[in-house]
Amino acid sequence: MPNRTAFVTGASRGIGLACAHALASGGARVILGARDAAKLEAASAAIPGSTWVTLDMSSQESIKAAFAQAGPVDILVNNAAITKDGLALRLKKDDWDAVLATNLTGAFLAIQQVMQGMMKERWGRIINISSIVGETGNPGQANYVASKAGLIGLTKSLAQEIASRNITVNAIAPGFIDTDMTAVLSDQLKQNMLAHIPLKRFGKPEDVAAAVKFLASEEAGYITGAVLNVNGGMYM
């Protein structure tokens, strides 16, 4: 992907940072977007030729400003996500709204910012990071699951809408990936999960990043509307 510009949201750590490294290793000029400027600066310093912009995926104004600063984008990786877990019976509307705003609405608004440029160039890659729970469901995460399932539906609709312009839209559904977000889970819960993973290990951010790098490549030009499971066989 030489001479391509890639924008990764939620790129200051975890899966997003691994994706930024992978795309840069493939020759892309990478722009990192996230909320924390200090973390972004440190992350970008380790990726030659990369730049960064502050970005709040819950704010349309912030999204517009960030992509205006970034300029034309060939590859968009919608990775930014938050969780605010709770049983549905007691889930606050604010926690529902916050998760949907960042994980689903924010992703859609980011796509809107890059679509016109991709259509003009007749080339583009949009990769939405969903989740295994978007396919299986998960108790206590109605808001997060709805946002990740929504990303899969969004992926399939857009794939049909803009395929004629040589733009592919795909989703990746990671399973249990060892990141800051999952580090807070109890050892017992982790062991229970491990028992359901045929490959008998948790995923690494690099496992997801490798899939992103492939879908962003020329070799993946005939793949669109797909959901690529990166989950060690946890869900098939």
pTM over 0.95: yes
Residues 6+ apart with CB under 8 A from 1: 23, 26, 27, 28, 74, 75, 216, 217, 218
The active-site residue, picked from 7, 52, 144, 176, is 144
Active-site residue, 235 included: no
C-alpha 115/C-alpha 119 separation (Å) is 6
CATH number of the domain enclosing 163: 3.40.50.720
- 236 within some domain: no
> Is residue 194 included in any domain, yes or no?
yes
Residue 22, in any domain of the structure: yes
Residue 213 lies in a domain: yes
Mean pLDDT in residue range 91-95:
98
Task: Please state the domain count of the chain.
Answer: 1
Task: Indicate whether 234 belongs to any domain.
Answer: no
Residue 183 pLDDT greater than 90, yes or no:
no
CA–CA dist 224, 125 (Å, integer) = 9
pLDDT at 190: 87
For residues 215 and 165, what is the distance between their CA atoms, to the nearest angstrom? Answer: 17
173 falls within a domain:
yes
**pLDDT tens track for 43-82:** 999 999 999 999 999 999 999 999 999 999 999 999 999 9
Residue 34 located in a structural domain: yes
